[in-house]
Amino acid sequence: MEEKKLRIVFFGTPEFAVASLSRLVEDGCDIAAVVTMPDKVAGRGHKVIQSDVKRYALEKGLRVLQPERLKSPEFVDELRAIDADLFIVIAFRMLPEVVWGMPPLGTFNLHASLLPKYRGAAPINWAVMNGDTETGVTCFFLKHEIDTGDMIGQRKIEILPSDNVGTVHDKLMKIGADMVSQTVKDIADGRVSPVPQPEGEFIAAPKIFKDTCHIDWNSTSARIHNQVRGLSPYPAAWTTMEDSRYPGSPLDVKIFETRIAEGEEPCAGEPGEVSVTKDSLYVRTSDGILEILSLQPAGKRRMDSSSFLRGYNPLRFF
């Protein structure tokens, strides 16, 4: 018996969503349209920036929709005219009910956490920043409250001590694409049995802002280490440096990689004060010391600590 081919509208914006869209195209799915964010204009040259999803969709000759307002009558009418069976949402804006309630087979979302644990815009960052040892992806049908719909399925991965948000993102992107592919097949064959999310506490995973990335050296070594991991390589944790060579001119520095220094003598003084050996850079925290392994002073490239210390003489971070 020939497998039913569903007519699908795909909603997404960043690279994370491209992996699933690409997998659906490879599967031979009928992608009737792709909905993504409007183009942005950035930089002094006013360069037009297209989303990762738009660039992929155009490359594959897919129809692209970029509504400014998701509730606009023009956009809603355009969606209705497509007459899709199913909508799929990955890393996109919150959809209004007039949109997610439209297709007869529903609208499902791929969320980068093991719901209901992390709900919000940045679940991968927060899982790593909180020191979790596992995470995963969840497919669920949309309903009114964000990230609360009935679950179709989940897949788990281990978060290794060597992982940062970049490596976890890539692992989840791959297993997420596999899960989206299987979910579409199961929906087409009538094999899905959604279950309500467990009741109880959940952890908010809000969008990452600059203040989220600022390091508080009065925190513990473990907390700062996980903050760095959870923000590396992008957008990166940051601190401000006082350097003896540039008195009165504090400099912002991004921190990409650290190590909890066990066994070494703690740096003297207050949290944020620095101790330097020939090629190593240590910073005092509330309960010990962290070794800084790679960092990037403002206006410079990313470098290891040995290279950094050839050009700077830091006294403290704050």
Edge-to-edge strands of the sheet including 151-158?
64-65, 30-35, 7-12, 86-90, 107-111, 134-141, 151-158
Between 45 and 91, the more confident residue is: 91
The per-residue pLDDT of the chain, averaged, comes to: 94
Q: Which two tokens stand for residue 98?
A: 């007039």
**Alpha-carbon span 35 to 66, nearest angstrom:** 6
pLDDT tens per residue, range 138-172 = 999 999 888 889 999 999 999 999 999 999 999 99
DSSP letters for 227-258:
HHHHHTTTT-EEEEEEETTSTT--EEEEEEEE
Mean pLDDT of 217-228: 97
pLDDT tens per residue, range 33-85 = 999 999 998 877 788 999 999 999 999 999 999 999 999 999 999 999 999 99
| Residue of 84, 80, 157 whose CA lies nearest to 123 | 157
